[in-house]
Amino acid sequence: MDELERIERDLQRTAPDSELGKELRGRLQSYASPFRELRAYYKCAMMEVETKFRVLNEELSLEYDHNPIETIKSRMKSLDSIADKLISKGLNFTVENVEEHIFDVAGIRVICGFPSDIDALAKAFLRQDDIVLVERKDYISNPKENGYRSLHLIVEVPIFLHDEKKMMKVEVQFRTMAMDWWASLEHKIRYKKDVEVSPEMERELYACAEIAASLDRRMEAINRKLHAEDQKDTDQDQ
Ligand code: GTP
Ligand code: MG
């Protein structure tokens, strides 16, 4: 439940029938309505992008002999976090500012088996002619200092409403299972209440990220070798 819903509920509870209560609820509803609309648009954009990945997963599985996607997770940023982010940028909480300055209202995380699945999926996704690339951060080729790996794309995707076409921004994060495992646990550890991560823990976390990356490389190499042998067998049979 977001802050607007909480205020609405509290107003309903504290002043159910009074004139002032009704007036305040009316004002709140007209204030909230553009934000509700905006959230609905982001949800549509998220569904569009998710469907694109489901389609690619089906199609690429025929070519690669395995499903490139293990899981897709989508999440919508809460109005509270959107407001916090705008405030931290020194901006007012308006629909225009959300659309112009917050790029991760709609977020999709695509979890793959092998690093090469990420390459194939990202390429196929960006080739689609209705997708506009806004920003690319490749933390796989250039991991963050703490060891974090993931490919982040901010894209614009059209949604078709009854009377208009609207371009909406969506953040897509591509990770292997190993990258996701590390990032999820690192996030849990880092955001533990009242606990400071010491430099030694930082080094340990970094070392774990490197081990995860090395596992990815080894699994990829095994898979590549198997494919090469499989291909050799097929060539010999022909
Ligand atoms: P924000 O969107 O405000 O976070 O800033 P940014 O756009 O500069 O960040 P970036 O694109 O680098 O990362 C955005 C998202 O990636 C975060 O919200 C996290 O989900 C994820 N992320 C980035 N860095 C880390 C990290 O070091 N550890 C973990 N666990 N996740 C990270
Ligand atoms: Mg971001």
Q: Counting atoms of ligand 1 from 1, which one is nearest the CA of 152? A: 11
Q: Domain limits at 56?
A: 3-237
Distance 170 CA to ligand 2 centre (A): 10
Q: Counting atoms of ligand 1 from 1, which one is nearest the CA of 182? A: 30
CATH number of the domain at 80, please. Answer: 3.30.460.10
**Kind and range of the H or E element at 126?**
helix 115-127
Number of residues assigned to the chain:
238
Ligand 1 pocket: which of 87, 152, 208 to mutate (most atoms within 8 A of CB): 152
The pLDDT of residue 231 is 74
Instruction: Please tell me which residue, 237 or 140, carries the higher pLDDT value.
Output: 140
pLDDT tens-digit series, residues 150-166: 999 999 999 999 899 99
Quote the percentage of the chain above a pLDDT of 70: 97
Of the candidates 191, 175, 181, 171, the residue with the CA atom closest to the CA atom of residue 76: 171
Tell me the ligand closest to 145's alpha carbon.
1
Tell me the ligand closest to 77's alpha carbon.
1
pLDDT tens-digit series, residues 24-56: 878 877 777 888 899 999 999 999 999 999 999
Show the CA angle centred on residue 201, arms to residues 200 and 207, nearest 5°: 95
The pLDDT of residue 171 is 98
**In the predicted model, what is the mean pLDDT of the chain?**
91
Check pocket membership of 43 for ligand 1, CB cut-off 6 A: no
Average pLDDT for 77-91: 92
Radius of gyration of the chain, Cα coordinates, nearest whole angstrom: 22
The pLDDT of residue 238 is 65
pLDDT tens-digit series, residues 164-181: 999 999 999 999 999 999
Helix then strand then coil, in percent of the chain rounded to 5, is 60, 20, 20
The pLDDT of residue 65 is 80
Crossing angle for the helix pair 115-127 and 199-237, to the nearest 10 degrees? 80
pTM for the model: 0.89
SS3 for 3-41 is HHHHHHHHHHHHCCCCHHHHHHHHHHHHHHHHHHHHHHH
Check pocket membership of 152 for ligand 1, CB cut-off 6 A: yes
Question: Using 50, 70 and 90 to split pLDDT, how confident is the model at 229?
Answer: confident
Q: 204: which 2 tokens?
A: 């340990």
**How many folded domains does the chain comprise?**
1
Structural contact between residues 110 and 174, judged by C-beta atoms closer than 8 angstroms? yes
Check pocket membership of 144 for ligand 1, CB cut-off 6 A: yes
Backbone dihedral region for residue 125 (phi beyond 0: left; psi -120 to 50: alpha; all else: beta)? alpha
